[in-house]
Amino acid sequence: MPHVIAIEDEAASSLAECDDALSVSGFQPEDEESLHHAALQLRRLGNNRTFLGDLLIDELKRQHADDGGENSYGPQVIMLRPSGKGDFFIRANIWPSEDEHAMRASGGGAFVYSQPHDHNFNFLTVGYLGPGYWSNYYEYEYEDVVGYRGEWVALRFIERSRLEQGKIMLYRAHVDVHDQMPADALSISINIMHTSGAQAWLDQYSFDLENHRIGRIISNGSSEAFLRIAVGMGCGEARDLAEGFGNSHPSDRMRLAAWGALASVETDLAARDGVWRAAETAGSRLVAAEAKQRRMELA
């Protein structure tokens, strides 16, 4: 399960002070010194019991003059320090209880409740307000997984617990799987998220916990969508690019997207089956397994 990091510190810092302290050396979760430094800064930011409320009030007051700015707000996420200025960003997450109007209106899926998943990045989190969301925690061996839909995974159940106020945890990329459930009352967590240039190409999965299987890859990026659109528009160069990607791209996920784009423009079932037949022998275990499933679905 995510590592619980116990840090006793009564100092409170502002968001700007936290940002400045982290910006000096960055956030490298695999380095113990960097991890401890980031956890200490998160502890001190969490000790500031007024900064988030003050920030939200200020935003509401100037809403009429808002031009979009750098901050990103949504029903669940408040971006406190955007990405693009280093190897981390900071955000606050809102976790409604089952009694909240947002839950009744949007359903738990809008808040990633009952959607077991891992992460393709490391991040620190602290319970800032409320009793915190519940999670059933599991672990698995990422290196043993190919990643195709329905693949059996050796998931190990660890425990059920919640992110109480003041609790700091490190979620480890490609190790920790959690199935989140609603908080008992409205809760807020604050996260320091690690980012890297390679992150977009690292797979993140949903899981079928009952059957211990991969649900699907949930980390699809813009490149896959762009390729599918280009091929769909009938551009010959895009088709050539997709064929090249399908056979030799270093990312298996991109290979699968390329074959999917090529199959999507074939209206004849036999031609579509031919695309997936070729994909089965393209040299990727992920693509081969998915292609076999796609051919069975066509049949």
pLDDT at 85: 76
Judged against a pLDDT cut of 70, whether residue 73 lies above it is answered with no
- Crossing angle between the packed helical segments 252-264 and 285-298, to the nearest 10 degrees: 30
Residue 71 reports pLDDT greater than 80: no
Tally of CB atoms within 10 A around 226:
13
Helix (H) or strand (E) holding 194: strand 187-194
Return mean pLDDT, the chain: 93
**What pLDDT digit, counting tens, does each position of 91-129 carry?**
999 999 999 988 888 899 989 999 999 999 999 999 999
CA distance 157 to 207: 13
Q: Which domains does the chain have, with CATH numbers?
A: 3-217 (2.60.120.10), 222-298 (no CATH)
Place 66 in a pLDDT band, splitting at 50, 70 and 90. Answer: low
